[in-house]
Structure 1
Amino acid sequence: MKTTKMFLQTGALALSLLATAVMAKVSPEEAAQLGTTLTPMGAVKAANADGSIPAWSGGLPATAGTVDSKGFLSDPFANEKPLFVITAATAEKYKDKLSAGQMAMFKRYPQTYKIPVYPTHRTATVPAEIYSAIKTSAVKTEEVDNGNGLSGFSDSRYYAFPVPKNGVEVLWNHLTRYRGGNLNRLGTRVQPQANGDFNMVQLEDEISYPRELPDLDKEKAENILFYFIQRVTGPARLAGNVLLIHETIDQVKEPRDAWLYNAGQRRVRRAPQVAYDSPGTASDGLATTDNFDMFNGAPDRYTWELVGKKELYIPYNNYKLDSPNVKYADILKAGHINQDLTRYELHRVWEVVAKLKPGQRHIYATRHMYFDEDTWQLAEVDHYDGRGELWRVGEGFAQQYYHKQVPGYTAEALYDLQSGRYSVLGLKNEEKRSITFGATASASSYTPAALRQEGIR
């Protein structure tokens, strides 16, 4: 009996040590790589072997271009021409630097889909105080609850694992990345028909962070990642509907709180269904709630396998696509957006495969994900159904909002290979202003009571 008891105690100790090793913070020596061999955000600073990806040299300066009266940025690379254009006829030649989803798009739309490849510019940069926060994250933040939550994160609040050890840590960097403080965005969501016809839905999004809300009880918000409001402002039949979310860090321990204001009923209701694979707002069933921001929400339904790094042609520096001189009708075409307006560059990405856990439910059984190493933003996501068939292809069209030192998206596209339709979120070319970063906000605005005042009809 003594032997058995000793064995059990020893086994428990070994498992405890193993768990500690899995969740261990980065050593000071590893953290010291940030800003030396690694960029301050954790990417490899050096160029790749043939120089087609240059060394990171500080990112795009805030004075890289001009800002118009609406907040739209000029294109610092307007004079550049594509190095080459990948088409269906040449895709096989480049397949080692393309995702399965991109290859599938060439097969689905052989006459129109193309990838214009431009010189690579490592434009990513964030303010100095965020770099300091990242170093704090490296030595203090740990996984809890098998990666569903974080501890030691309250002192930094950005980029939880700049030197990641596994796939869920890479995901957390996307979820906790810097977005420019509190922000307000006018944008659109549109699902063109198979022939290219479309109707726009206008949205206004707000994101605010606990540390940026001076009237917030910080102790009560310990597990809050951010607060989110999405207002539908058009067309008239949908205008006035509002979604409020309190996004928690550990959503297994404390699920996100969500409420919906229905303008027609003039009622506020709890909305626990606004999570995972429920239909996204105004998406016509072509996107899930967790497709927003390429991926959002709790990681608990998937395992997260870190495959490693690879070089991939991804959407990058898409200033042309964001130009206020471009109309929505110029962008939205049958099958996919107008690829002549896009820009792709060769960048290193983190490759992660998310697989649905046994006993869990989601319409996507597998998500093959590629995270840009310089920004931690998701660039490409291939979504597979329960049969193992590639179903939807997500592309995040990135740009550096250099005037505020914020990496972000120009737009997000999600292509449904089966229906021939797609959803695009975030286009703002014809809106009255671009994104407002560093917006002033009040905690009192993010309550169910305040939601009743949000209706506009």
Structure 2
Amino acid sequence: MLRTIAILLLAAAALPAQARVDAAQAARLGQDLMPLGGERAGNAAGTIPPWDGGLSTPPASFQPGMHHPDPYAADKPVYRVDASNQAQYKAQLAPGFQKLLEEHPGYFLSIYPTHRSAAAPQRIYDATRYNASNASMISGGNGVEGTAAGIPFPFPQNGTEAIWNHIMRYRGDQIRMITNQAAVLANGDYTLLKRDRDVLFIYGREGVTPADLDNTLFFYKYVVTAPSKLSGSSLVVQETLDQVLAIRKAWRFSRGERRVRRLPMLAYEAMQPDTNGMATADVVDAYNGAPDRYEWKLVGKQEMLMPYNSYAVHQKGIPYEKILQAKSVNPELLRYELHRVWVVEADLRKGHSHPYAKRRFYLDEDSWQILAVDLYDKTGALVGLQEAHPISYYDVPMFGSTLETIYDFKGDRYFVDGLDNNEPMYDFNVKLNKSDFTASALRREGI
């Protein structure tokens, strides 16, 4: 305990007490900068266009409840990157993509015209401007105060602030979704696990104030509905904002035991159930939870080839076996574009253990969604790659992943979550209450 306190005190001393900017700097948001902090202008080469508001309104063909139609379906790939020509694009390829191309010669990245489609409600933009002059980190960087919605640090000064921008980005007020996950083994075998999932966001809700948060970011629940041998198992999570001050609370109902158990730890390196040992607790949503076990470095902004506008793999009716190929997700269904991203490196602090001793994150400048992560073990070997394939849920509007993958290079296998092509589309208007996310509620539903 004393060692942990000492580490936190040292971290606090190394971080600025606040990251607030003056009114003139904050006023740039919505002017030469887009409202969440990205550069409004395109690049000099013309390969990245200016941000013009993103996809803030649905296409004419969209009806509520539909899988989101592809507004860029007429686009053709500009070029393709594979093992034969990847050296030409090395500067724009994350090491994880380079290794994926090297180890799977048939794999490729289809590079499409860049569209800066990320958008959020106006109130999130307004809150972000307020936060720029008021938000600050507390608890040695393990919590944030002075904000209740929006991006907390649109002018990040260090890697910790940048990762908080991802953790606290807008993802809707509430969501009900039915998705499938699969651990695809080296021989191509897998079993789909279907879950009904509810999320009630506290931070980011319309009208919420800092006093309303009570150190709570969101509530989360899932119920397994397939396969039959796991059906009925469920989980509830109460996600705290400062997880060093108060660790997240989690309860699991096991159908076999017919009882609810409080999980002592569902964070950091703890393995998620039913992922074949490929997904730690903190890889959900590319990264989640307290940042206290890593040293965070803001490397800077770069132009990189990243998954973006992934509508093709999101479309209704695609058989899951067409998506889940041996060795990788079907590259024919994936889309990559050139975007500016913030590069953040995280190095595991001494005294802590984790399969990933180093990670390199690539955060979209327009949304703060993590798009890819290079994963390294304690020897410095590149052992994995995470991807988040995002779309704009323009009926909210909200920009977020429709599919997430983790490639395990050592095991020659991968894990995928978010398969929803043959399920009802997300319901962003579902009525949820805090009382739905308790151990008692889990027990009632299990019985």
Give the TM interval when normalised to the shorter protein: over 0.9
Q: In structure 2, do the counterparts of structure 1 residues 55 and 96 end up closer, same or farther at CA, with 3 Å as the change threshold? A: same
Instruction: Quote how far apart the aligned CAs of 1:222 are.
Output: 1.4
Would you say the 8 A contact 1:117–1:345 is kept in 2? yes
Q: Partners in 2 of 1:56 and 1:221 — Cα distance?
A: 32
Q: Which residue of 1 aligns with 2:132?
A: 138
The aligned counterpart of 1:129 is 123
Q: Please, which of 353, 357, 360 is the counterpart of residue 345 of structure 2? A: 353
TM-score (norm 1): 0.91
Tell me, in whole angstroms, the C-alpha distance in 1 between the residues paired with 2:347 and 2:220.
Answer: 28
Q: Name structure 2 gaps, 5 residues minimum.
A: 1-9
Out of 54, 58, 62, the residue aligned to residue 67 of structure 1 is 62
1:135-171 Cα offsets, whole Å, 9 max, x none, are 1221111001221001112xx3231111111101110
Paired position in structure 2 for 1:444: 435
Equivalent-residue separation in structure 2 for 1:20 and 1:211 (angstroms): 24
Task: Tell me, in whole angstroms, the C-alpha distance in 1 between the residues paired with 2:150 and 2:52.
Answer: 22
The size of the alignment, in residue pairs, is 436
Residue 107 of structure 2: aligned partner: 113
Aligned residue in 1 for 2:32: 37
Choose which of 94, 101, 105 in structure 2 pairs with 1:99. 94
**Contact 1:367-1:383 within 8 A present in 2 as well:** yes
Equivalences for residues 92-241 of structure 1 within 5 A: 92-110=87-105, 112-153=106-147, 156-210=148-202, 221-241=213-233
Partners of 2:137 and 2:268 in 1: CA distance = 21
Larger radius of gyration: 1
Counterpart of 2:272 in structure 1 is 280
Q: The residue matched to 1:23 in structure 2 has which SS?
A: coil
2:123 partner letter: E
Greater shift in the superposed pair: 115-124 or 262-271? 262-271
Distance 2:315 2:203 in 1: 32
Moved more, 259-268 or 413-422: 259-268
1:251 counterpart = 2:243: yes
- Counterpart code for 2:87: E
Letter in structure 1 aligned against 2:124: I
Structure 2 contact 17–138 (Cα < 8 Å) conserved: no
Look up the equivalent residue of 1:30 and give its one-letter code: Q
What aligned pairs does 1:324-403 form with structure 2 within 5 A after superposition? Answer: 324-403=316-395
- Kindly indicate whether the alpha-carbon contact (under 8 Å) linking 1:210 and 1:218 is maintained by their aligned counterparts in 2: no
Matches within 5 A, 1:264-275: 264-275=256-267
Kindly indicate whether the alpha-carbon contact (under 8 Å) linking 1:66 and 1:73 is maintained by their aligned counterparts in 2. no
Q: Does 1:453 align with 2:416?
A: no
Distance 1:315 1:325 in 2: 21
Distance 2:395 2:61 in 1: 8
In structure 2, the CA distance between the partners of 1:18 and 1:26, relative to structure 1 (3 Å rule), is farther
Aligned AA (1:130): I
Q: Residue 65 of structure 1 contacts residue 74 of structure 1 at CA under 8 Å; is this kept in 2?
A: no
Q: Identity, % of aligned pairs?
A: 39
- Aligned partner of residue 426 in structure 1, secondary structure: strand
CA distance in 1, matches of 2:176, 2:154: 27
Task: Give the secondary structure class of the aligned counterpart of 2:184.
Answer: coil
Structure 1 Cα separation of the partners of residues 237 and 317 of structure 2: 34
Query: Does residue 78 in structure 1 map to residue 73 in structure 2?
Result: yes
